[in-house]
A and B are shown apart, each in its own frame.
Chain A
């Protein structure tokens, strides 16, 4: 009798060619039907499905004079913000039917590294090599700077809004992650927590589905999981100044052999995926019966030579569980599908 063993598999669905030079970032449309990518060639490519094939739907050019480092679709899906080494952030809309750059946000002194929309679409955050994080308010297609936060001491690599609240997290070359909130009394944005434990640059971060945990990845070759302890938490962890305290509750070390450039926490499946300088894509799953204050994660898949060069970015499709996209120095974007058993 043959015994059929169901195995987890990671399938490469398609390789998307079109960019010249490094591809820095990919971002899914909130409905998951489009993917945008950007890179060294200063263009944004929007990919969509035609039948079973991903094809180029649009190429956006002439918005930036230097590398486009990161992209973000607005939660409504009608806008794309792009962060560039030319020190500006462009906002593209499709009011005319085609995507056009109708706003350019200026102010950073140096390369803009990352951009993120809050869930309401009313706030936009950017960060830069100039060490600052900016919060922009969006009003009828006007963008007004609401705050310039100088909390980090080095290049800021990533900004990401909380999945539901107006709370911002940023990751930096200064090895820390910081959490920012607006003070209701004087509408001043300030740093309410500093997450220190990584021993080198923190390249990226991802909130979990609920927003009370953050996964971070670093040049120190580790992934860390952080948990928020609110004032008067049941665990009895003290919260000075009546502000939440963030604690590192898990460190994944020994898996990655080079810098980890990106991490994404799937809001549907809870799986973590990492992009590494060793060309490998890895998938981690939280162990089911672990203590929520001391969780453990198991690497359930490792794809060697996922790309021919550094993997810069990985992102789960927000609507199709198991599907994700990756971007690499090898100028390619790849679409993957992870089949897994519960």
Chain B
């Protein structure tokens, strides 16, 4: 099994602490919009297709590479494949897309792209992920 893995020994990254719930967020009368942290929490625990690890643990997704404009209904996510020729890149991008499709309101336009310069077929994968 192991010899079939593309990236046999991926580098592991530290997980973020749980989000602290603020008083306002517990108050049902205060409208709270989506922010990068909330989007990150929705996608951080997606499993990698070939390792029993999450996208966060592999540093494929990072909070800093998520941009959210709640008013303009935009969520822009950049993800970083673990290796530049990762054949799972489209599948990972699609998993992020599907997760968000299910978890956030339909008003959001979600863009999922590869972090610039981190994959050999960056352009083709990005075009495909626009769906």
Hey, which bits of chain A sit against chain B, CB under 8 A?
Answer: 173, 200-201, 219, 258-259, 277-278, 308-310, 329-330
The A-contacting residues of B in range 53-75, CB under 8 angstroms, are none
A309 contacts B130, CB within 8 Å? Answer: no
- The interface size of chain B toward A, counting residues with CB under 8 Å, comes to 5
Hey, which bits of chain B sit against chain A, CB under 8 A?
Answer: 106-107, 109, 127, 130
B107 contacts A258, CB within 8 Å? Answer: no
Q: Could you jot down 8 A-B contacts, CB within 8 Å?
A: A173-B127, A258-B109, A259-B130, A277-B109, A278-B109, A308-B106, A309-B106, A309-B107
Q: Which of A200, A309, A329 contacts B127 (CB 8 A)?
A: A200
Smallest CB separation, A262 vs chain B (Å): 16
Having A173-B127, A219-B130, A308-B106, one finds 10 other A-B pairs with CB under 8 Å, namely A200-B127, A201-B127, A258-B109, A259-B130, A308-B107, A309-B106, A309-B107, A310-B109, A329-B106, A330-B106
How distant is the Cα of A173 from the Cα of B109 in the complex, in angstroms? 21
How distant is the Cα of A173 from the Cα of B129 in the complex, in angstroms? 13
**Which residues in A have their C-beta under 8 angstroms from that of B127?**
173, 200-201, 219
How distant is the Cα of A316 from the Cα of B112 in the complex, in angstroms? 33
**3 smallest beta-carbon distances between A and B, as pairs:** A309-B106, A308-B107, A200-B127
Smallest CB separation, B63 vs chain A (Å): 25
How distant is the Cα of A310 from the Cα of B106 in the complex, in angstroms? 10
**Which residues in B have their C-beta under 8 angstroms from that of A259?**
130
How distant is the Cα of A308 from the Cα of B109 in the complex, in angstroms? 11
Smallest CB separation, B65 vs chain A (Å): 21
Smallest CB separation, A26 vs chain B (Å): 20
**Which residues in A have their C-beta under 8 angstroms from that of B106?**
308-309, 329-330
**Which residues in A have their C-beta under 8 angstroms from that of B109?**
258, 277-278, 310
How distant is the Cα of A201 from the Cα of B124 in the complex, in angstroms? 11
**Which residues in B have their C-beta under 8 angstroms from that of A277?**
109
Which partner residue on chain A sits nearest B128 by CB separation? A173
**Which residues in B have their C-beta under 8 angstroms from that of A173?**
127
